[in-house]
Chains A and B, each alone.
Chain A
Amino acid sequence: MNNPILTCALLIFLLPLAAYVVLALFNRRIPRRGDWLATGVLGVCLMLSLYVFYAVLQTPKPLLVNVTFDWLPMQVGKAIAGGLMVDRLTAVMLVVVTLVSLLVYLFSVKYMEGDVRYGRYFTCLLLFSVSMLGLVLANNLLYLYIFWELVGLSSYLLIGHWFEKKSASDAAVKAFITTRLGDVGMFIGVAICYFQVGSLHYADVFAAVETGGLAGSWRTIAGLGLFFGAMGKSAQFPLHVWLPDAMEGPTPVSALIHAATMVAAGVYLVGRLLPVFDPATLLVIAYVGGFTAIFSATIALVQDDIKKVLAYSTVSQLGYMILALGVGGYVSGLFHLTTHAFFKAGLFLGSGAVIHAMHHEQSLSKYGGLRHKMPYTALFYLLATLALAGFPCFSGFWSKDAILADALGFAMVHPAHAFLPFAGFATVFLTAFYMFRQFFLTFTGKPRDHHAYEHAREAPWQMLVPLIILGSLAVVGGGFGQWFGAMNPKRSGIEQIRSFSEDGYSNPFTVKALEQADAGAAPASHAGSSEHAASTASTASTESTASTPETRREGTNTDGHGPDTDRRGGRALTVEQEAAHKAHYPAMALSTLLGLGGILLGALMYLQRRDGTTALNPATPATRFSAVYRLLWNKYYLDEIYMAGFIMSTRALSRLIALFDRTVIDGVVNFFGWFGVLWSFLVDLADRWVVDGLGVNGSARVVGYAGEKLSYTQTGRVRQYLVLMIAGIVILSGLCVLAFWGS
């Protein structure tokens, strides 16, 4: 425990755990149901996380803490080990989780004021934070899986917070079952790793990938299984249906769990285990991500519920991250995870403030003109919206740009996969459009529901402060890499993430020297100009996760196990990375154009002039392409398809099984029951007649009868007694004589 980082990491996990236990046990006895305790503990955790993050930046070691202990000693074979680790990815995730948690707790204090289950709400939130922190601190697949399930559980509990509402309890069950479906795949992946590798440690699994211990179809299946788990949690295409429904939960929950952290756990999983996936699996990952991004963005175009729009936007952005990881953009994917966590949590909290002000009205068609009533909310909502839309210099711009560059570079090398950048760029346009549609409908124009509008007022400080912090982070989140010595904002955003992905690159003071070493190896750039250095940084950072096997093998080292992994001198860039580097500026230009175009179109269609009309009538495309509109409005009928395809068939199967159960199983059970009754009846008879009749009462009656009769010999005549006595003596002695005659 002399390692302060280890102490901090343990405290970050154990303090909320202790608070959770206290809240769970003594909730009703704590004043204010313990909301101050939860918030305060998370505040302490945020301080500790920031310290850990700072310490990570200060050291060139990729892995600060890696503690392992025997958790389940086995009779046969190796013990199953548990443990925790702190590396750069963990440190960033810790900051994200604790920061968003803290702000959401603070927001909830006001938002959930007077709720029937106020204490339960904070208890579940704490359970979630504990599990999420455990998830990012785990250093093996088993612990990851355990906490993975725990975040699923707390998500279930919180979606169903208002379980009196049928839709809320249905949504909770749907979320739980859908993610469970993915978890089955994940469990298969974990099991394959255990049986092929013999250990569940990340380090051991990566070493096995490197040495060929986990290879061939086993590796493919394990990778697909693990990715299936990530698909469930991160709401990727076939399993995304639970996330929009999960908006039935309280809005702060949506912000914390279903936008910023838990759904990002799938992305975290893919990023953390990236060396496990082989090129084929990575291609699957890229396609699933790309398709999800554009697919759900189209649904978000027409949704009316403010939270549903944000939910589909979340699915779409998660698809982005998955796409980035699939094409090898480890850094860009996780960078986008961080920035997205901030601005999407800000958007959700902003929508929560709006919903709170409008008396739990969530329909966009009832809003309008709210910027006059809630100016601060509107301002910071706008900042977060701009970040999500990829407006230049906002945080989302940098991360999205990095992803698009990776995707474009990948497609330039493999023209067959042109769909991936196409989906990415199309989504930029769609995202900008639907976000500004939502913003204009909510905050500008004339109020459409005057009654609610009159009563709306600015959010209280408990709700405004988190919104302001997250909105500000949405602006500068891409740039706070400047802290550690980067020259310009574009580089700094990437630098921030690169610092935890690459060994030896984290210390700002060593960056330059290492870049020069890299520049010697990379033909593309020269370290002299800052622009080129920045590009090198971005390309070099993607190197660890390129999809060709040779570089992947090197990439396993860079994931940070063992402080003395080899420096990467002389390592060549792959063609994809070179292409990504070349694609950087075209991608940036194109995405900026498309984003601005989306914003413009949104403004044309939804920004009202003074006379209340818009430049383009939004009803025109809806009527002209009514079939498409209906398809989008009904979310491609996926729920209906699932209902008809899976749920109905499952129900039919259940009915069949129920029939079998009723007739065969119950028949057997009933037979044994009937047999038992008969047997007891027989035993009862035997008991009553044989045991009681003959044994107990019989002997008593015999003795009584004999006594009755023998009592007549009690004549009171002494002489008769004497006669009998003599007769007895004679008989006994006669018997003795007879018996001992011979002897």
Chain B
Amino acid sequence: MNSYIAIASDYLSKAAHFLGLTSDHPAGLHLYLIVAAILFVLGLVACMARRNAIGILIGIELILNAAILNFMAFWRFRGGMETDAATMAGPMFGIFVMILAASEAAIALAILLNLYFNFGTVEVDSVHQMKR
């Protein structure tokens, strides 16, 4: 059992090493970017794969969150706190995106509601009046 744990920890340490998690750089920029990319792809896949319009909306929210994460990460490591000219650009962008997401969600939900009233469903595949 210990050997499994040893093997696992060994892999973890190798992975951490691969990710650049050393004692000198406990959590680098790239880790944030990786997480943001994972989030983005998840959102994208949700958008593409889900038939339910609400699922697609959630996917969009994920994509927006990935974007916020990127903003914050770049602000944290490249722009603001470590330099002398400290600004609040990153958080401000994050807040903008959140507001955007909120308003977008409101509009999208209104669209969904109308969709439901008109077609009796929120399955996007069954709504294809615009096809040729």
Interface residues of A (CB under 8 A from B): 711-712, 714-719, 722-723, 726
Contact = CB atoms under 8 A, between A and B. Distances in A.
Contacts of A717: 124-125, 128, 131
Contacts of B130: 714, 716
B122 interface: no
B48 interface: yes
Pairs A-B, 7 closest by C-beta atoms:
A716-B131, A716-B128, A716-B130, A714-B132, A715-B131, A711-B132, A718-B124
A712 B132 contact: yes
Given A712-B132, A714-B132, A719-B47, 17 more contacts: A711-B132, A714-B130, A714-B131, A715-B131, A716-B127, A716-B128, A716-B131, A717-B125, A717-B131, A718-B124, A719-B50, A719-B51, A719-B125, A722-B47, A722-B48, A723-B48, A726-B48
A45 to B, nearest CB: 96
A280 B79 CA distance: 122
B56 to A, nearest CB: 8
B60 to A, nearest CB: 10
A717 B128 CA distance: 6
A136 B26 CA distance: 127
B7 to A, nearest CB: 37
Contacts of A719: 47-51, 56, 124-125
Contacts of A714: 130-132
Contacts of A715: 128, 131-132
B50 to A, nearest CB: 8
A718 B128 CA distance: 8
Contacts of B132: 711-712, 714-716
Contacts of A723: 48
B62 to A, nearest CB: 14
Contacts of B56: 718-719
Contacts of B49: 719
Interface in B91-132: 124-125, 127-132
B129 to A, nearest CB: 6
B21 interface: no
22 contacts: A712-B132, A714-B132, A715-B128, A715-B131, A715-B132, A716-B127, A716-B128, A716-B129, A716-B130, A716-B131, A717-B124, A717-B125, A717-B128, A718-B124, A719-B48, A719-B49, A719-B50, A719-B51, A719-B124, A719-B125, A722-B47, A726-B44
Contacts of A718: 56, 124
Contacts of A711: 132
B46 to A, nearest CB: 11
Nearest to B130: A716
A714 to B, nearest CB: 4
Nearest to A712: B132
Interface in B17-60: 44, 47-51, 56
A61 to B, nearest CB: 109
Contacts of A712: 132
B53 to A, nearest CB: 9
Taking residues whose C-beta sits less than 8 angstroms from the other chain, chain B's interface range is 10 to 19
A712 B131 CA distance: 8
Contacts of B131: 714-717
A721 to B, nearest CB: 10
Tell me which of B49, B51, B132 has the highest count of chain A C-beta atoms within 10 A of its own C-beta: B132
B95 to A, nearest CB: 26
Contacts of B127: 716
Most buried by B among A711, A716, A722, A723: A716
B67 to A, nearest CB: 15
B88 to A, nearest CB: 30
Contacts of B47: 719, 722
A718 B132 CA distance: 13
B22 to A, nearest CB: 28
Nearest to B125: A717
A469 B35 CA distance: 135
B132 to A, nearest CB: 4
B33 to A, nearest CB: 15
A714 B56 CA distance: 20
Contacts of B50: 719
A498 B119 CA distance: 129
A274 B117 CA distance: 123
A711 B51 CA distance: 23
Contacts of B125: 717, 719
Nearest to B44: A726
Nearest to A723: B48
A647 B2 CA distance: 141
B27 to A, nearest CB: 26
A518 B48 CA distance: 137
Contacts of A726: 44, 48
- Chain B CB within 10 Å, residue with most, of A711, A718, A723, A726: A718
A693 B132 CA distance: 30
A716 B51 CA distance: 14
A716 B48 CA distance: 14
A226 B84 CA distance: 115
A478 to B, nearest CB: 117
Contacts of B128: 715-717
A709 B128 CA distance: 19
Contacts of B48: 719, 722-723, 726
B48 to A, nearest CB: 5
User: Most B CB atoms within 10 A — which of A712, A717, A723, A726?
Assistant: A717
A723 B45 CA distance: 9
Nearest to B124: A718
A717 to B, nearest CB: 6
A494 B48 CA distance: 132
A292 to B, nearest CB: 106
A563 to B, nearest CB: 108
A718 B115 CA distance: 14
Contacts of B44: 726
A499 B107 CA distance: 124
Nearest to B132: A714
B82 to A, nearest CB: 27
A289 to B, nearest CB: 108
A726 B47 CA distance: 11
B45 to A, nearest CB: 10
B126 to A, nearest CB: 10
A717 B47 CA distance: 12
Q: Taking each of B44, B49, B127, B130, which has the highest tally of chain A beta carbons within 10 Å of its own beta carbon?
A: B130
A108 to B, nearest CB: 95
Contacts of B124: 717-719
A395 B56 CA distance: 134
A717 B48 CA distance: 11
A714 B131 CA distance: 5
A723 B46 CA distance: 11
A716 B49 CA distance: 16
A712 B44 CA distance: 25
B61 to A, nearest CB: 15
B39 to A, nearest CB: 16
B104 to A, nearest CB: 16
A723 B56 CA distance: 13
A167 to B, nearest CB: 91
Nearest to A713: B132
B41 to A, nearest CB: 10
A716 B124 CA distance: 10
Contacts of B51: 719
A67 B124 CA distance: 107
Listed residue (B44, B50, B128) with the most chain A CB atoms within 10 angstroms of its CB: B128
A722 B50 CA distance: 12
A711 B131 CA distance: 9
A13 B49 CA distance: 109
B76 to A, nearest CB: 25
A711 B132 CA distance: 7
